[in-house]
Amino acid sequence: MENILKTNNLFKSYKDKIIVNKINMIVRKGEVYGLLGQDGAGKTSTIKMIIGQVIPDEGSIELFGETINSKSSEYKRRIGVLLEKQSFYPMLTARENLEVHRRYMGIQDKKRIDEILSLVKLNEINKSVDKFSTEMKQRLGLARALLNEPEFLILDEPIKGLDVSAVNDMLQIILEINKRKGVTVLICSNTLRDIQSLTNRIGIMHKGTLLKEVLSKDLQGKNKIYLQLKVSNQKKATVVLEKNCGINNYRIIKNNVILIFEKLDDVENINKIMVNNGIGISELKVHTEDIEDYFFRLTGEEKDV
């Protein structure tokens, strides 16, 4: 399958702090690639190097089969970008902002603005942008990214700050762009669960490093089943687990919660032993990992429960 993007040992540091550490990533034509990671993982810096806003210290970037550098510019007409931090002309309307961008990009078809506004379902287009909600600004940013009919769409946190309804709507629009228009999409997000259903492949980034790439359809096979216990005394509970239950494959997380990954067919006995040893249990559930659980297990970070 043809590669749209390939990064080769991409590296960036600021004041001796490594931001992006030897990233090797491939985005293939026609797919939706999800680059997932918490704030500060290096996702935005990676994007800015890809689109030419930041120069890598080391490594190279290939777009549409050609290595790009600081002098490259032709590829920019083939990509659309929605950055997390956007800027618009605040006193202009959505239509007027897009008209400025149309002229800047040299797009001849004036009807394209109406088509895109309809596609992203942006209402109140004659209101000045300084009166827009977060959701409306995200829709306008997506419209601007799509105005030049890009082959490759790069989205940085497109659903951040949106409510559930707006998130679902935005993801459906992105899916439609990918499926009906054949646009390749790279979507960066720290909202792990929402993105999983949209992507073909997922790259998990943590502290500047790409830890793992996995097919979305394969995640179910990788995810573990576990027992989640919320206990009154976490330290005492772990002693009882090891000494009385013979359980060593567990994980301690915040808020007095323990995740147990073995002897899941003996839940009733585990509960009984804990109670008999003076451990109060306020929650006992069997779970199957989702992408967020998988992320925290892979990174070793603590998950808020």
- 164-173, 180-189, 213-222: the lowest-pLDDT one: 213-222
| Both structure tokens of 151 | 């082959």
Can you tell me the distance from the alpha carbon of 225 to that of 82, in angstroms, rounded to the nearest whole number? 37
Strand partners, 187: 34, 155
CA 256, 257, 261, 262 dihedral sign is positive
Cβ neighbours around 221 below 10 Å, total: 8
More confident residue, 233 or 301: 233
Q: Is the pLDDT of residue 1 over 70?
A: no
Q: Which pLDDT belongs to residue 298?
A: 73
The chain-wide mean pLDDT, for the chain, equals 87
Residue-wise pLDDT for 93-131, tens only, equals 999 999 999 898 888 888 889 899 999 988 777 889 999
- 22-36, 41-55, 290-304: the lowest-pLDDT one: 290-304
Cβ neighbours around 202 below 10 Å, total: 24
| Both structure tokens of 194 | 């929402």
pTM over 0.85: no
Residues 6+ positions from 133 with CB-CB distance below 8 Å: none
Q: Which pLDDT belongs to residue 263?
A: 86
Asked whether 303 and 292 are in contact (CB, 8 A), the reply is yes
Q: Which pLDDT belongs to residue 79?
A: 94
**Nearest 10 degrees: Cα torsion 167, 172, 175, 179:** 180
Helix (H), strand (E) at residue 3? strand 3-14
pLDDT band at 73 (very low <50, low <70, confident <90, very high): confident
Q: Which pLDDT belongs to residue 290?
A: 67
Can you tell me the distance from the alpha carbon of 114 to that of 69, in angstroms, rounded to the nearest whole number? 34
Residue-wise pLDDT for 244-273, tens only, equals 999 998 888 878 888 888 888 888 888 889
pLDDT band at 29 (very low <50, low <70, confident <90, very high): very high
Can you tell me the distance from the alpha carbon of 295 to that of 126, in angstroms, rounded to the nearest whole number? 42
